[in-house]
Amino acid sequence: MKVEAVVNKSFHDWFLQFKGLNIEIFFKDVTDKDITDVLSAKEKSIEQFLTLLSPIAEKYLEDMAQTANKLTVQNFGKTIHLYTPIYISNYCVNNCIYCGFNLNSKIKRKKLTLEEVAEEAKFIGSTGLRHILVLTGESREETPLPYIKDCIKILKKKFTSISIEIYALKGREYEELIKIGVDGLTIYQEVYDKHIYDQVHLSGPKKDYLFRLEAPERALSKGMRCANIGALLGLNDWRKEVFMLGIHAKYLQDNFTDAEISISIPRIRKNASRFEPVCDVTDINVAQIVVALRIFLPRVGITLSTRESPEFRENLIPLGITRISAGSTTVVGGHTIYEGGGKSPEQFEILDERGVNEIKVMLESKGYQPVLKDWVSL
């Protein structure tokens, strides 16, 4: 596999060279020796990353796990960063067939008032967490940028690190948010295969594949400190999607060397859309994904959400996880307003419902230091 160097190219322009790659044919030629050679190599090539995603590599999962654990401890120590999401709105104008918030879902819509945002912030802050992820459905009309900025100003009083997971923005809009205290962007491409992307995004602004794909570049070029990207596992062959996700993260690391780049690997879970995964992704598959990403990108952060069960999350931590959510809810106002029943719909089903203290105790029992705050802007 001949890979062109990045020379003043966007990620989209650079990754077009992989468009014709037939990974099934590539995997047929992978041998046991190829796997052992990758594990002994000091630096891993893109071709070697794909080798670690091959079916035959699953036989070497234990060896890969040991390598991944060593690399994680070398680069991150035995620390796990904790954060929690705050959903401020579930209004959405997109018709994404896999999402519980899509415009055709017959769910109760809610947007927090600024007073309600302050109440949510007060509750979350009382847990000790100082990192927060702000989420909305994708509706510029219901959640315009000025509203989001007002929410950020309130949250900035309680939290040292604020990330956003909202609709894709223009560069100048990211710059506006950075100026008032946003330091992280989370945005998932969902699926890198453009044909499938078109099939699952039927209408709305999110249907613009390229505008979403290049959002991390726009934000990082304006000074965003962190970018977290991801693929929604279950929409396409996971090996193809994780390969593209991995080289996307490599591109961002190579081109924005001062930024922290991280990856999320969510699996589709039950939600109001009742969408069933197109491709099965097993627990063993997820474990292979985590160790392959860690071996290929030793410095990349890897986030594991509460979509996974408590036991599975705990088992994956030594394999390369660096960041997990705690005390999570995907309900708008779920920390305070709907506590005790009558709550609004969730975006997806949460399997790990443990609070911050429970997660801290679990991590400490396994010899890890839970990090609730590691960043203060000057």
DSSP for 327-375, written as a single string: S---STTTTTTTTTS-PPPPSS--S----HHHHHHHHHHTT-EEES---
Domains with residue ranges and CATH for the chain: 11-371 (3.20.20.70)
Q: Answer whether residue 342 shows pLDDT above 80.
A: no
Contact present, 98 and 233 (Cβ < 8 Å): no
Q: 10 Å Cβ neighbour count for 141?
A: 7
SS3 label, residue 167: coil
Mean pLDDT lowest among 1-10, 33-42, 356-365: 1-10
Note the pLDDT of residue 341.
42
Q: How far is CA 264 from CA 233, 290, 300, 325, 362, in A?
A: 10, 10, 11, 11, 21
pLDDT in tens, 13-57: 998 989 889 999 999 999 999 999 999 998 899 999 999 999 999
Give me the half-sphere count of Cα atoms (radius 13 Å) on the Cβ side of residue 356: 19
Q: Say which residue, 107 or 357, is predicted with more confidence.
A: 357
Residues 6+ apart with CB under 8 A from 93: 103, 138, 139, 140, 141, 204, 205
Q: Answer whether residue 271 shows pLDDT above 70.
A: no
- Per the listing, tokens 């699926």 go with 191
Note the pLDDT of residue 336.
83
Residue type, 44: K
- For residues 328 and 285, give the distance between their C-alpha atoms in angstroms, rounded to a whole number: 25
pTM: 0.94
Give me the half-sphere count of Cα atoms (radius 13 Å) on the Cβ side of residue 143: 29
SS3 label, residue 181: coil
- For residues 191 and 197, give the distance between their C-alpha atoms in angstroms, rounded to a whole number: 6
Residues 6+ apart with CB under 8 A from 260: 225, 226, 227, 301
Q: Answer whether residue 259 shows pLDDT above 50.
A: yes
Note the pLDDT of residue 26.
95
Q: How far is CA 117 from CA 101, 111, 298, 351, in A?
A: 20, 10, 37, 25
DSSP 123-159: HHHHTT--EEEEE--S-TTTS-HHHHHHHHHHHTTT-
Residue type, 274: R
